[in-house]
Structures are given as C-alpha cells and as structure tokens.
A and B are shown apart, each in its own frame.
Chain A
Amino acid sequence: MNDTTPNSYRTGPDERGRFGIFGGRFVSETLMPLILDLEAEYEKAKTDPGFWAEMDDLWTHYVGRPSPLYYAERLTEELGGAKIYMKRDELNHTGAHKINNVLGQILLARRMGKTRIIAETGAGQHGVATATVCARFGLECIVFMGATDVERQKPNVFRMKLLGAKVVPVTSGRATLKDAMNEALRDWVTNVENTFYCIGTVAGPHPYPAMVRDFQSIIGKETRAQMMEREGRLPDTLVACIGGGSNAMGLFHPFLDDPEVRIIGVEAGGHGVDDRMEHAASLTGGRPGVLHGNRTYLLQDADGQILEGHSISAGLDYPGIGPEHSWLHDMGRVEYVSVTDDEALAAFQLSCRTEGIIPALEPSHALAHVAKLAPTLPRENLLVMNMCGRGDKDIFTVAEALGSKI
C-alpha cells in the first residue's frame, strides 16, 4: 500500500485517526460528537501529570505492576535455542493484561463525568477487568457478551456478576464477540448522555486504537527497562498473540523504532488458514474492510459480508484486528504468522510441564510460535514472549480438547 519507509513507526495516527489507510472514524452521526469529545478529553489527559500519577499509583498498588520479566530457563533448555523470557502480565490483578487499559479508560470516564460504563467481552477477560474497576470506583457496569460465549465461559460470567456488573447475553447475529460489540454500540447510541464505552482492544473508531495502545504500552516500556537491567541491551525478538491485538501492541510499540528488534505477531489459525475460513487470522487470511468504526483487515466474503472467526481461544475469535497492526503488516515492520488450535494446545501443556505456569489459550498461541522459532535461533538471541493471561479460565476447554473430564 505505502512503499515509503517513515522516519518513525511511532507517530501515528494522523489527525484523522489513520495509520496509513487504516483506522479512521466510521461511525454513525449520533456517535460522532461523542468520540470527538472523548478524543479532546484524552488529548488533555495525556499531557496531564496528575492523570498519569493516578494511573501509576493504581498500576502499582491495585494491579501489581511492574509485572516480572521472567527468564524461562527450563523452556529455554527444552527448546535448545534462543534465551526465552516471559513478560508475566498474567500476574496482574484479574489475571490478564486487560486491566492496564481499563484503568485508563475508567479514569477518563470519571473525568468526563460519565456514570454508566458499557463494555463488550468475548472470553470474559475484558468484561471481568471492567467489572472489577467499576466496582473499585462505584460505577454502574453493563457487559455485552454473545450468548454463545456466555454459555462457554460460565466462570467469568459469574465473576462479573459477583463484581456487581450486569451481563447482557447478546443473541443478535451469530451471538459472539462481534455481535457483542454491535450491541454495545447500539446501547451507546441510545444512552449518549451518561454512558462511556470501554473498548477492550486496539480497535474501534479513533481515538480508541491509539488510546488503548498508549495504556497497554506500559508492557513494552517495562520490558525495555527490565531487559536493559538484566542483560544490558534490548531484546532481539518479541512474540505476542493477536486477537484484536492490544497485548501485542502494548509490547511492540515502544520497540517499533529499534530496527534490530525483530517483532512477530501470532494470529489464531484455528483449524488452519485456508478457504474453509475456520480461523481468526485477519491478516494472513483476510482483506481490508470497514467494521466497528475502523478500516482494517477483516474476515469477509466476496460481497463484503463479515464472517465469524474460529479459534479454540474465545479471546482471539474476532474477525478483525486493530488498524495499527494492519498498517505495520503492510509496512513490513512486524511479521504476522498464525498457529493452529492443536499447536496452541501443545504449547499450553509445554508451559505447564516445563515452567509450572498454566497459560491462557491466547498466549499459548504466542508460545506455540516460540516453540517453532526458538530452536532456529542462537543461544544469545534474547526472546521475549508476552504471557498476557493466565489459564484458569481455560481449563474446561482444554480438558474437553484433551478428552479429560473435570
């Protein structure tokens, strides 16, 4: 698309919310004034030391940041190549990276005087994080979740309810994550006065992709400082899984202008990326289109109708991806690959066995690629994979896939 190399990969988006041709503000007129307000408020907050001081305090004392950068010694030995570090964002309060972003958005909502928070969720991790922070600040919380996902993620549904959130099962469309996002947008268009839409990933209309990225960038900033301290230099390789792409963008963004750092995003290949379309690999198996407020790579048919993604991981089966990833893909700065359900399952067990860490199925995808890549790299190659979530929520799915009964 764009064949000139920019001076920096970190200056986007432009004033129209675009990363190259991707991103933008494809929303109905009712929402347009709201996202312009949000953008103005975020621009103010971004340069307000008071805002970041509050974030830092909560990150430290409520979330438990910084998360450790852990040298996975036995995994390194087992794979026999690159020196593997794990960025332990699964140790955050609520068990995933999602809360990094939710805190930022809820603080913004409070600055804007909004009292009602809505969110969409797939696997339930973003819903749980949102319900958690809403409870912490005494805000009304409504989480839209596809009826199919409500059924297969019961523990998280119960967690959200314990935290005081109202979980609305969405039956429209195919009743999964994209439909939950449609329903959240329908709610927002109806309750414009008091409602803040807390989006869980680096997608949606501008300014969400940039804002969520900025909040998640704490992952990459910490990794940079921790690696300098441990090894005295930058890592050579970064690997993270991608559904919408927020944990990956958070890890990648602070390193985009360091050309010596190889960066790899891992999409969910489901049953394999081919014309059966039983996968959720938007970049490797989709093409550019417009959905949920932004232009990005999408899984779609020849007529521009959106297809369902499939992945064993409910957190990755979204038919789109954050627009900045689409741009980085087209620019060639980040490599995007996919791994299948079976490969992710094997990596899940590898982590349990070698490191005593039960990973979520989402980072199991990143780990599956590490298992392929690390043996081909020299011992001095410093590789960081983002362990962005813990696997407690997935034990039922894994048990079923392995033929065990719990």
Chain B
Amino acid sequence: MSRIDAKFAALKAEGKAAFVSFVMAGDPDYETSLAIVKGLPAAGVDVIELGMPFTDPMADGPAIQLAGQRALAGGMTLGRVLEMVRSFRVDDQTTPIILMGYYNPIYSMGVERFVAAAKDAGVDGLIVVDLPPEEDDELCLPANAAGLNFIRLATPTTDDTRLPAVARNTSGFVYYVSITGITGAASASAARVAPEVDRVRKATGLPVCVGFGVKTPEASAEIAGVADGVVVGSAIIERIAAGEDTASVLAFVKSLTEAAHGA
C-alpha cells in the first residue's frame, strides 16, 4: 500500500476528508519554503503537493505563476525540488508528497533519471498538468512501474465517454478541477461539485479531491463535506507572496484544515 493509499484509508476510517495543500517549492526562497513544508503536517495537512517551478505554467493563474517566478529567480531547479523532499523525509515518513508541475523540466532531466531520483527522495506521486492520458507512455507508465502514483486531473469537460480513459493507469486519488479555468480563479459551489464527485468516484473507484478556487475556511469545509478531499493552493501562496512569516502562513493553513476536518 502506498503512502497515499494508507493516508486515505486512515482518513476514511476516521470519517474525515483529506486536506491537500499546494505550495511552490523554493517560494520565496529554499530555506523558508522548506520550513513551511516541514510545518504543514502539524498544521493538519494530510497530503502535500509541492510545485515544480516552470517558466510557462499555462494552466495557472497569477498567484502560482508569480510563485514559480520567485522560486526560479531564487535559483530553484528540479534537482533542488527533490533535495527539498529528501530533507522533509528526514523527519516525516508518513505524509504523502506529490510533485505537481509541467513536463518539460522532467523531460529535460530525462524521464528514467527523474523517476528513479523522485522515488529515492521519497516522492509518492506526480501530477503533470500537460500530460493527458493520450501521452501516458511519456511519464505515467514509467512512473507507475517505479511505484509512483500518477494522479490525474478530471475537469467539467471530462465527459462520461472520456472518464474511462482518465481512470486508466491512474492511482492514489483523482484531482477534480471544479471549474473550467486556471488556478486561483472563480470557485465552484459544493452543490455543483457534489454530483461531479460522485460521477468521477464511480468511474474510477478512487478517492476524489476537489481543487481550483477554494480560498477560505468556509469553502474548505463546504467542499470537504461533499468530496474525499479538498485542495488549496493559491490562497496559501498569496499569504507567502504578501511576505507573511512562516508561523502566520501555517496558522492560516491550520484554519483551513480544521474547517475541512470538522466538516
């Protein structure tokens, strides 16, 4: 059982939804970013998504674009992202870590080399935005073979004829993108999301986490009430961008996780 499967099984037993946080590795700098990531589990985060910065994040809104630019300006590389995971794993062997980003830096490093290095560093899963099921042989299949979960995005445009393709070769959970749009944009209501979560859960047999547009503890609680997990990224990153210190960022995260877990 992978760390991700174990986490979702444990939460299910407790009757809780998962809280998944997204931060950009290296934002605003390596040390601060590592301190924030290390503090996330104590703030109640169940699954950590760590962004791999890229110059051209075509599915992201301004908050995550700028986070990536800050990280790159600070000298972040894919190799340093893996180093950050390795440092995190020194003290924490149970919280799943998922790397999220775009394909080119991985392709540039070499898929075989990346997959081996990620596994070795303690990465559990990958979300690569620009690799749809049609391109599974690029990274999804090699990642699966190495024991990494390849987590897929499902969206409002993923209709029932397409869902089986999305379900194929995926594991861990499905990330349901609640809106057609970019990260940090408008939010979807729980009432609208609930039937979609059911649809995706039935087709894939996997837990469904919902993200894009969740910004407040209230929204976090609402979504957690209808899904297996809730993902928050831009709202946390905006706090980092505003220069809040690590304790203050983590306190905000705690307010989100408590809301989600209480739902």
Stretch at the interface among B8-16, B177-185, B215-223, B233-241: B177-185
Known: A28-B132, A28-B155, A289-B108. 5 other contacts (CB 8 A): A290-B104, A300-B108, A303-B105, A303-B108, A304-B78
Chain B residues within an 8 Å CB radius of A25: 132, 134-135
Measured CA separation A300–B177 after assembly (Å): 30
Measured CA separation A186–B109 after assembly (Å): 26
Residue of A nearest to B54 (CB): A305
Chain B residues within an 8 Å CB radius of A32: 132-134, 157, 162
By the criterion CB–CB under 8 Å, are A186 and B55 in contact?
no
- How far in angstroms is the closest Cβ of chain A from B241? 14
Contact of A173 among B55, B59, B182, B185 (CB under 8 A): B55
Measured CA separation A233–B155 after assembly (Å): 54
By the criterion CB–CB under 8 Å, are A304 and B182 in contact?
no
By the criterion CB–CB under 8 Å, are B55 and A172 in contact?
no
Residue of A nearest to B129 (CB): A28
Contact of A304 among B69, B108, B181 (CB under 8 A): B108
Contact of B77 among A28, A172, A300, A303 (CB under 8 A): A303
Does A337 lie at the interface of the complex (its beta carbon under 8 Å from any beta carbon of B)? no
Measured CA separation A289–B132 after assembly (Å): 16
In the complex, how many residues of chain B place their beta carbon closer than 8 angstroms to a beta carbon of chain A?
Answer: 45
Using A28-B153, A182-B58, A186-B182 as known contacts, say yes or no to A290 and B132 having CB atoms under 8 A apart: no
By the criterion CB–CB under 8 Å, are B65 and A190 in contact?
no
By the criterion CB–CB under 8 Å, are B157 and A33 in contact?
yes
Contact of B104 among A179, A189, A289 (CB under 8 A): A289
- How far in angstroms is the closest Cβ of chain A from B22? 16
**Which 4 A-B residue pairings sit nearest by Cβ, starting from the closest?**
A304-B108, A304-B105, A190-B181, A30-B155
Chain B residues within an 8 Å CB radius of A291: 56, 104
Does B31 lie at the interface of the complex (its beta carbon under 8 Å from any beta carbon of A)? no
Residue of B nearest to A185 (CB): B58
By the criterion CB–CB under 8 Å, are B180 and A33 in contact?
no
By the criterion CB–CB under 8 Å, are A30 and B157 in contact?
yes
- B120-139 CB mask vs A (1 if < 8 Å, else 0) is 00000000011111110000
By the criterion CB–CB under 8 Å, are B72 and A305 in contact?
yes
- A9-28 CB mask vs B (1 if < 8 Å, else 0) is 00000001000000011111
By the criterion CB–CB under 8 Å, are A26 and B130 in contact?
yes
Chain A residues within an 8 Å CB radius of B158: 29, 33
18 pairs across A/B with beta carbons < 8 Å? A28-B130, A29-B153, A29-B155, A30-B156, A30-B157, A30-B177, A30-B180, A33-B162, A186-B59, A189-B58, A190-B180, A290-B102, A290-B103, A290-B130, A292-B56, A295-B107, A303-B108, A304-B104
Does A293 lie at the interface of the complex (its beta carbon under 8 Å from any beta carbon of B)? yes
Residue of B nearest to A179 (CB): B56
By the criterion CB–CB under 8 Å, are A189 and B77 in contact?
no
Residue of A nearest to B186 (CB): A190
- How far in angstroms is the closest Cβ of chain A from B175? 9
Does B261 lie at the interface of the complex (its beta carbon under 8 Å from any beta carbon of A)? no
Does A192 lie at the interface of the complex (its beta carbon under 8 Å from any beta carbon of B)? yes
Chain A residues within an 8 Å CB radius of B109: 303-304
Using A304-B78, A305-B54, A306-B56 as known contacts, say yes or no to A190 and B182 having CB atoms under 8 A apart: yes
Measured CA separation A191–B152 after assembly (Å): 21
Residue of A nearest to B107 (CB): A290
Chain B residues within an 8 Å CB radius of A191: 180
Does A34 lie at the interface of the complex (its beta carbon under 8 Å from any beta carbon of B)? yes
Residue of A nearest to B105 (CB): A304
Q: What size tier do the contact residues of chain A reach?
A: 35 or more
Measured CA separation A300–B78 after assembly (Å): 14
By the criterion CB–CB under 8 Å, are A29 and B152 in contact?
yes
Does B25 lie at the interface of the complex (its beta carbon under 8 Å from any beta carbon of A)? no
Measured CA separation A253–B205 after assembly (Å): 47
- How far in angstroms is the closest Cβ of chain B from A321? 15
By the criterion CB–CB under 8 Å, are A29 and B177 in contact?
yes
Chain B residues within an 8 Å CB radius of A289: 104, 107-108
Does A65 lie at the interface of the complex (its beta carbon under 8 Å from any beta carbon of B)? no
Using A289-B108, A300-B104, A304-B106 as known contacts, say yes or no to A26 and B180 having CB atoms under 8 A apart: no
Does A178 lie at the interface of the complex (its beta carbon under 8 Å from any beta carbon of B)? yes
Measured CA separation A304–B109 after assembly (Å): 8
Give residues of chain A (255-308) contacting chain B, Cβ–Cβ below 8 Å: 289-293, 295, 298, 300, 302-306
- How far in angstroms is the closest Cβ of chain A from B261? 28
Residue of B nearest to A183 (CB): B58
Residue of B nearest to A206 (CB): B134
By the criterion CB–CB under 8 Å, are B56 and A178 in contact?
yes
Residue of B nearest to A306 (CB): B55
Does B214 lie at the interface of the complex (its beta carbon under 8 Å from any beta carbon of A)? no
Using A29-B166, A304-B78 as known contacts, say yes or no to A16 and B134 having CB atoms under 8 A apart: yes
Measured CA separation A26–B159 after assembly (Å): 19
By the criterion CB–CB under 8 Å, are A192 and B104 in contact?
no
Chain A residues within an 8 Å CB radius of B162: 32-33
Chain A residues within an 8 Å CB radius of B181: 189-190
Chain A residues within an 8 Å CB radius of B195: none
Does B262 lie at the interface of the complex (its beta carbon under 8 Å from any beta carbon of A)? no
Residue of B nearest to A190 (CB): B181
Measured CA separation A178–B62 after assembly (Å): 16
- How far in angstroms is the closest Cβ of chain B from A177? 12
Measured CA separation A32–B129 after assembly (Å): 11
Residue of A nearest to B103 (CB): A290
Measured CA separation A172–B54 after assembly (Å): 13
Residue of A nearest to B157 (CB): A33
Contact of A192 among B103, B107, B108, B180 (CB under 8 A): B180
